[in-house]
Amino acid sequence: MTSAGRLEDPSPPSITDPAAESPAPRARRLPATTDVSTAAMQTRRQRLRDDGYAIDHLAGSSAPPEPETLAGNIEGFIGYARVPVGIAGPVTIRGAHARGDFFVPIATTEGTLVASFQHAFNVMNRCGGVAALCSEEQVGRAPCFEFADVHEAGAFARWFPTQRDGLAQVVAGTSRFCRLLGLHTSVIGNTVYTRLEFSTGDAAGQNMVTLATQAACQWLLTQMPVQPRSWLVESVLSGDKRASALAFRDTRGRNASAEVVLPAKVIARYWRADVDAMTRSWNQALIGSAQTGAVGLQGNVANALAGLFIACGQDVACIAEAVVCVTRCERTPAGDLYASVTLPNLIVGTVGGGTHLPTAQECLGLLDCVGTGKAAKLAEIVAVTTLAGELSIIGAMASGAFAAAHAAGGRKGRSAQDPAVP
Amino acid sequence: MTSAGRLEDPSPPSITDPAAESPAPRARRLPATTDVSTAAMQTRRQRLRDDGYAIDHLAGSSAPPEPETLAGNIEGFIGYARVPVGIAGPVTIRGAHARGDFFVPIATTEGTLVASFQHAFNVMNRCGGVAALCSEEQVGRAPCFEFADVHEAGAFARWFPTQRDGLAQVVAGTSRFCRLLGLHTSVIGNTVYTRLEFSTGDAAGQNMVTLATQAACQWLLTQMPVQPRSWLVESVLSGDKRASALAFRDTRGRNASAEVVLPAKVIARYWRADVDAMTRSWNQALIGSAQTGAVGLQGNVANALAGLFIACGQDVACIAEAVVCVTRCERTPAGDLYASVTLPNLIVGTVGGGTHLPTAQECLGLLDCVGTGKAAKLAEIVAVTTLAGELSIIGAMASGAFAAAHAAGGRKGRSAQDPAVP
Amino acid sequence: MTSAGRLEDPSPPSITDPAAESPAPRARRLPATTDVSTAAMQTRRQRLRDDGYAIDHLAGSSAPPEPETLAGNIEGFIGYARVPVGIAGPVTIRGAHARGDFFVPIATTEGTLVASFQHAFNVMNRCGGVAALCSEEQVGRAPCFEFADVHEAGAFARWFPTQRDGLAQVVAGTSRFCRLLGLHTSVIGNTVYTRLEFSTGDAAGQNMVTLATQAACQWLLTQMPVQPRSWLVESVLSGDKRASALAFRDTRGRNASAEVVLPAKVIARYWRADVDAMTRSWNQALIGSAQTGAVGLQGNVANALAGLFIACGQDVACIAEAVVCVTRCERTPAGDLYASVTLPNLIVGTVGGGTHLPTAQECLGLLDCVGTGKAAKLAEIVAVTTLAGELSIIGAMASGAFAAAHAAGGRKGRSAQDPAVP
Amino acid sequence: MTSAGRLEDPSPPSITDPAAESPAPRARRLPATTDVSTAAMQTRRQRLRDDGYAIDHLAGSSAPPEPETLAGNIEGFIGYARVPVGIAGPVTIRGAHARGDFFVPIATTEGTLVASFQHAFNVMNRCGGVAALCSEEQVGRAPCFEFADVHEAGAFARWFPTQRDGLAQVVAGTSRFCRLLGLHTSVIGNTVYTRLEFSTGDAAGQNMVTLATQAACQWLLTQMPVQPRSWLVESVLSGDKRASALAFRDTRGRNASAEVVLPAKVIARYWRADVDAMTRSWNQALIGSAQTGAVGLQGNVANALAGLFIACGQDVACIAEAVVCVTRCERTPAGDLYASVTLPNLIVGTVGGGTHLPTAQECLGLLDCVGTGKAAKLAEIVAVTTLAGELSIIGAMASGAFAAAHAAGGRKGRSAQDPAVP
């Protein structure tokens, strides 16, 4: 996002006319997704296995890992919480990194959620799929240093940027993947708040940058002309696990967008609404959102984030920051509907953290996002899924079905109806 | 929080001197919490079973539930994501609802997290336990109504509050538990944004209030002198699943506080720091936090919320809003340390949603929070656990151990060291 | 805005079709508003005098007031800053309180500002004038009380609302105009933050509510079952002179909206743009605004507020809070443009503060807003003027003239061109 | 603040021990500042004239400027609003740019305001004066460009930073003072939001950067490989005239800090309070502030900003953004009180805008801030004055005098008492 950040430079995707209706995706939809019977579940599992996906751990037919393999992930371990996983898809993505048809795993207990993604994926496929772009990545840490007074602080703030080469070398020594991208400072009275921005490969990278920053600070202390009175390796300024607007200025994690153009007739068919009803409803919602003082403009991306993060072994606490995003829903000059979601604060990884756990590996496998070289791809898929959620909400608003959807399927013991249009 | 909200009126707890060191809690700590071996895990499980807790589903010795039991919770179901659960505790709580010693289940893959809660619980117990109070509860929905112009909108805004009795009756007809607590309106040009606040018993209540609001709107439409041009049952103004300051004005979910006073010698023993280092570090962090523009003032409550929400079958997406809170860390006139966390936006329930799932029932069982009459208790335990997390962070800042802790235990394949002081 | 707030209940205005083009207002425009010569200024002054307006102090032909008359307004007084005042208008307002044609005084040194209001007023008049509504008023103070622990705090929070009658009596004793409207509390650890909401007649009311709250607190201290450890008469929670979203929940000051519907042909004539260009530009701007994390959604209402506040003797520091508002700019089903501004945090008064100063009295006189019974009217005029500013910005964006306007008239020594269309 | 920003590099000031009480400043206080009589005013004026300050326009003894001199500042001009100006001071400043004793002009109608600054200046002088630092300056504009889809947008975002040299040349051609400092981009669906950061010499610079950005955009359009569908020269993302946290990341305007250390005995003498009461009160206030969701942490800096901005011909609407700041109030290890204010979003200038007006020139003259080379100095004086305001509030809170102060002097017709301690 900044000139200092690492700009992704993918080979250009072939761009087709997104507004044209296209044929159904090559991958087949899972059968009977709203049938809650054991038999229907078995059919879905078989279909996935037939398509070559490994789901034995999700299905419970493989034993969970030994406790010893959880070293570094947890203490006081006594067992596993089991969270139901549903599959929506396929969705056709025309991303810079994610290209093709994808089945998306969602871990949730909120009824109608998976069905709503399925419905929106169907719409998206009908519109030629979803364009997606992970445009940048970086993760920061923010040490602060207290000095005797504001003038000493100012002197440090002027000196600090001159140490970039030395700092870069120290950082590179802490990890094969961690690289220093940028330095920033601000003087707050006698204290200098700094930020160090890093690239972290395909890891979410929070621990990696903590270690790198610790090393950087220790080295700085040996170089500083005047020692600080006190310092913190992380002053909370990084934005870790809280919603802030700062990621709109400097990407935190990955910055990913997804977009789709919906022709008027598709809207009529899938939501019995029109473009004006969609944009009017969304305008009303964003004026409502503005009154909350919440950062960003969005309907409900938290559900998609939670569903994917739990399934894929991501740091679930990062939902708190990842919800900061912008959803757009606008009438095009041609009278169609343009919709996009941009997430500038997406902390996701395909290595490290909880990604090695068997069910996470299987969910990442469904997305072809296992291991190195896949984090930007995962970010694009997350953006696409949040866009599906937003379209579902806007469509429900426009068709007046918001509460009705909850009534039909959102409570225990009732089953959701398949959305009317296949 | 408002005069209209339902004020909890518990029988008064006996208040002991929180600053006095007290004997160890009656419940025994689990053994060897940082030993990752299978044998150690088995010992921990046995201890919990000996104490009367059911953990067969967590332990994997009971079969997961049939797909049919998930009707209303998920579609496209194919299996379960397994998230590791660790236990920290016991922690002694002197709450209005939660009283006694509690083992707290945390579902996470972030190394050192459970150990850090354990360390803080040890500190808290040494200080006589933690005071806690769930002081209020309500959940809102925010329909909006568009009229021909601002004068029609103004007329509706004046008429709407006069319909309170009729609305209360309609709402009460939608659920045994749902009750209307208050009405609010604001005129935004030709559109009136309203809020209806409800009590929802021991459910988190989001679906319950959606259904009640839908019924209320349908009834209103039959009563309104002038029909709206358009309306939404939820305009996003409710604050659902996004961080906003509004809950500081009107509680959203439960409002719960936890507090503890730490004598100087306890701080010295457990963190090799002093009160001044604790408050100075925290001041530096909250000035850092202020610079992010994030709502509230806190270090990292998202980790505790995520760990408890996944374990206990809560709506994980609500982490996005629950992180809005205030952590205090202050020197008392007597030279001790006062610390508290207040969460005014805590969407938790002990019935409904995902709480019926077996591993969630077991985790709620560890907290004696199964079923009706327990939601306020759960809210207090959540507040206590977030306070433990905050104290760990502040202690680590003060003792310079922030990064070191990550280095020792936060990465795969290394084991966390038991905090030095038992 | 809340059910507790004082809802304005004006006699209903006659509502005409706002989308119809109407004849020019009865009042005549001032001549040659962009002619900077002394002669042109004299002509403008004469026209205002002919219309019966007093402007001798603005014109400098009356002596400034004696220092003694400034007692209670300033210390260390040595003289007066002179800020240039320009007049835009007339604008036709169809408000609940402001009805008729108004000349609006703007104190500014920002070139093109008055001309841009003039242009937008011309547009508005062409559309039948502007509808406006001041829908509610209240001002709050927020004392806090620290107790021994959270349980004592909780007990106070339950007791406090029971004292409403006594508090109302104490408050009424402090002023003829000040009345208690509502009470709120929130427990933050061992401290209870309260809010008292008041009506303050036609004064802005900040001093009035401070005195009332001081008296209320003193009385409370004589009634409280348990004395607080410490307390503040104002904990900053009131939102005084800072931008916060709280006024969207509970009005702070006055809540005023202004709205207009612009037919496509008017947009074409006055901005050489169309409805789509207007809404597209505004959408781009509000997505930009969302990325700043600023509260509310608006283009630049601060200019109108500053110009009116300085001219009319308002508390200029309150611009900091009054900028929190929502601007809407939407395509109607009929293909016209709906635009509105709502200011829920408008601290204005027509008595007290600096309103008695001679040039303020003259500026208020231009608006027929002198003295009691006029504050809601002033609030509506402020809303109309901010809407004019927003329309100018959106129009300039849509016609690509944003920077060009600055180039032509925004720098010293160049004269602004009269907007092309009269 | 960023590595890209222009770091001020002043020659280092001599730093004395700020905690030591020092002798009174060389400059003498104005006599009888709370005496409202004409005679007392005349005495104050004479003293200032004796000290060599020009105040004829403030005093009304020089004629206001001809209308023709206001070309570029206003249209529809009819005369001048007169705003009372009071003087507080002297205050001793040990800044990087502002060094010596200063009389500060405040334009206000809020009683007790000038007296409260005077009281705090007395305290500050007793503590050896105030350290101050303007550490950085830059002003931004934020054009946006809409493309066909997210992939075209991504391509532009990668291309844009490569044009830096060309852009810098275009920018330099628009003004002697305007220089391009940095470029930033973010992809939001099919639209790229950019920011250009500039240095603007001693001007506030908003018009200067608008013109530069307009030229930059026009040049870009001739260079772009793919033309945008639409674009705006300013997308509101710059943060102009609204409160946002972005300035904490990248300075907007000037970033200035002021700080002072107050020995315990000074606090006892001037506020009849102690360090603990000061920090406790401030902690209560900042927890109150946090609940509002307002950006930054401060008590009431808007009053100082408004008073100085009106007096000194600054853009008063910029109060809306300048209030974003951080006030610190902390107990030092030695038991004294550390207090500071940092304003990272201070739009001030000493040339351009309204600074050429006679009363503004005189007020700037009181501060030795007339003309080029003085903007950083003015920024430091503003920071010092806001710190004085914050200390007054904290002191009043701590001594329980908050409301009492309003009662004594804040209402018309009563005279403020001189603060007890000289």
In this predicted structure, the answer to whether residue A15 has a pLDDT above a threshold of 50 is no
**Residue scoring higher pLDDT (D402 or A182):** A182
The pLDDT of B186-207, averaged and rounded, is: 97
A154 contacts D188? CB cut-off 8 A: no
| Res A26: pLDDT | 63
Taking a contact as any Cβ pair under 8 Å apart, which residues of chain C between 346 and 365 contact chain D?
352-354, 356-360, 363
Query: pLDDT tens digits, residue range D327-379?
Result: 999 999 999 999 999 999 999 999 999 999 999 999 999 999 999 999 999 99
What's residue B12's pLDDT?
39
- Name the residue among A41, A111, A280 with its Cβ closest to that of B67: A41
Give residue A411's pLDDT: 43
Whether B156 contacts chain C with CB within 8 A: no
> Alpha-carbon distance C8 to A401, whole Å?
35
User: What residues of D are labeled active site?
Assistant: 110, 315, 406
Tens of pLDDT, residues C254-266? 999 999 999 999 9
Q: How far is D377 from chain A (nearest CA, A)?
A: 15
- pLDDT band (50, 70, 90) for residue B409: very low
Greater model confidence, D37 or D405: D37
CB-closest option in B235, B243, B412 to A284: B235
Render C3-43 in DSSP notation, one character per residue.
SSSEE--PPPPPPP-TTS--PPPSSPPPS-TT--SHHHHHH
* Chain D hits for C315, Cβ within 8 Å: 109-110, 306
Give tens-digit pLDDT for B82-118.
Answer: 999 999 999 999 999 999 999 999 999 999 999 999 9
Name chain B contacts of C12, Cβ cutoff 8 Å.
151, 155
Q: Can you say whether the dihedral through the CA atoms of D70, D72, D77, D81 is positive or negative?
A: negative
| C190/D contact by beta carbon, under 8 A | no
Q: Which residues in chain C have their CB less than 8 angstroms from residue B384's CB?
A: none
| Average pLDDT of every residue of chain A | 90
Question: Given an 8 Å threshold on Cβ–Cβ distance, is A245 in contact with C291?
Answer: yes
Percent of the residues in chain B that have a pLDDT greater than 70, as a whole number:
89
Touching subunits for chain C (3+ Cβ pairs under 8 A): A, B, D
Residue-wise pLDDT for C83-100, tens only, equals: 999 999 999 999 999 999
User: In a mutagenesis test of the D interface, which of B251, B280, B282, B286 is the best target, namely the one with the most D β-carbons within 10 Å?
Assistant: B286
Question: Measured between CB atoms, which of A2, A13, A154 is closest to D151?
Answer: A13
| pLDDT value for B11 | 41
Strand ranges (E), C335-379: 337-346
Out of C9, C96, C244, closest to residue B245 by CB:
C244
The answer to whether A149 faces chain D, any CB pair under 8 Å, is yes
Q: For residue C408, is pLDDT > 70? A: no
Instruction: Tell me the average pLDDT of chain B.
Output: 90
Confidence band, pLDDT 50/70/90 cuts, at residue D15: very low
Q: Name every chain C residue with its beta carbon within 8 A of the beta carbon of D288.
A: 142, 144, 193, 232, 235-237
Q: Do D287 and C188 touch (CB under 8 A)?
A: yes
Q: Is B150 on the interface with A (CB under 8 A)?
A: no
User: For residue D422, is pLDDT > 80?
Assistant: no
Q: Do C109 and D64 touch (CB under 8 A)?
A: no
Residues of chain A with C-beta less than 8 angstroms from the C-beta of D150: 131-133, 257-259, 340
- Average pLDDT on A284-297 reads 95
* Cβ separation B131–C154 shorter than 8 A: no
Exactly one of B152, B202, B259, B315 is catalytic; name it: B315
CB atoms A286 and C297 under 8 Å: yes
- Asked if pLDDT for residue A391 goes beyond 70, the answer is yes
Please tell me the predicted confidence (pLDDT) of residue C79: 98
- Residue of chain A whose Cα is closest to the Cα of C296: A290
Chain D contact for A330 (CB, 8 A cutoff): no
CB contact under 8 A, B151 and C133: yes
Predicted confidence band of residue A29 (pLDDT cuts 50, 70, 90): confident
> For residue D153, is pLDDT > 90?
yes
> Cα distance from D256 to chain B (closest Cα, Å)?
15
In the prediction, which pLDDT does A7 show?
43
Task: Indicate which residue of A137, A259, A315, A380 is catalytic.
Answer: A315
Residues B363 and A81: beta-carbon distance below 8 Å: yes
Q: Please report residues of D whose CB lies closer than 8 A to that of B279.
A: 331
pLDDT in tens, D165-216: 999 999 999 999 999 999 999 999 999 999 999 999 999 999 999 999 999 9
Q: Do A158 and D7 touch (CB under 8 A)?
A: yes
pLDDT in tens, C217-274: 999 999 999 999 999 999 999 999 999 999 999 999 999 999 999 999 999 999 999 9
pLDDT per residue as tens digits for the range B139-158: 999 999 999 999 999 999 99
- Is D284–C232 a contact, with Cβ atoms under 8 angstroms apart? yes
pLDDT tens string D273-293:
999 999 999 999 999 999 999
pLDDT tens by residue, A32-90: 888 999 999 999 999 999 999 999 999 999 999 999 999 999 999 999 999 999 999 99
| Model confidence pLDDT, tens digit, residues C303-321 | 999 999 999 999 999 999 9
Q: Number of B to C CB contacts under 8 A, please give it.
A: 159
Catalytic residue (one of B110, B146, B330, B368): B110
pLDDT in tens, D41-67: 999 999 999 999 999 999 999 999 999
Return the structure tokens found at D191. Answer: 């639209």
- The pLDDT of residue C420 is 34
Q: Could you read off the pLDDT of B287-310 as tens digits, one per residue?
A: 999 999 999 999 999 999 999 999
Whether the CB of A282 is below 8 Å from some CB of chain D: the reply is no
CB contact under 8 A, B154 and C328: no
Q: Which residues of A touch B58 (CB under 8 A)?
A: 78-81
The pLDDT tens digits for A339-378 are: 999 999 999 999 999 999 999 999 999 999 999 999 999 9
3-state secondary structure chain A: CECCCEECCCCCCCCCCCCCCCCCCCCCCCCCCCCCCHHHHHHHHHHHHHCCCCCHHHHCCCCCCCHHHHCCCCCCEEEEEEEEEEEEEEEEEEECCCEEEEEEEEECCCCCHHHHHHHHHHHHHHCCCEEEEEEEEEEEECCEEECCCHHHHHHHHHHHHHHHHHHHHHHHCCCCCCEEEEEEEEEECCEEEEEEEEECCCECCHHHHHHHHHHHHHHHHHHCCCCCCEEECCCCCCCCCCCCCHHHHCCCEEEEEEEEEECHHHHHHHHCCCHHHHHHHHHHHHHHHHHHCCCCECCCCHHHHHHHHHHCCCCHHHHHHHCCCEEEEEECCCCCEEEEEEEEEECCCCECCCCCCHHHHHHHHHCCCCCCCCHHHHHHHHHHHHHHHHHHHHHHHHCCCHHHHHHHHCCCCCCCCCCCCC
Count chain A–chain D contacts defined by CB atoms under 8 A: 161
Torsion angles phi and psi, residue C148, rounded to 5: -65, -40
Condensed to tens digits (0 to 9), the pLDDT of residues B328-347 reads 999 999 999 999 999 999 99
Name residues whose C-beta falls within 8 Å of residue A75's C-beta, 6 or more positions apart in sequence. Answer: B33, B34, B36, B86, B111, B112, B113, B114, B115, B118, B409, B416
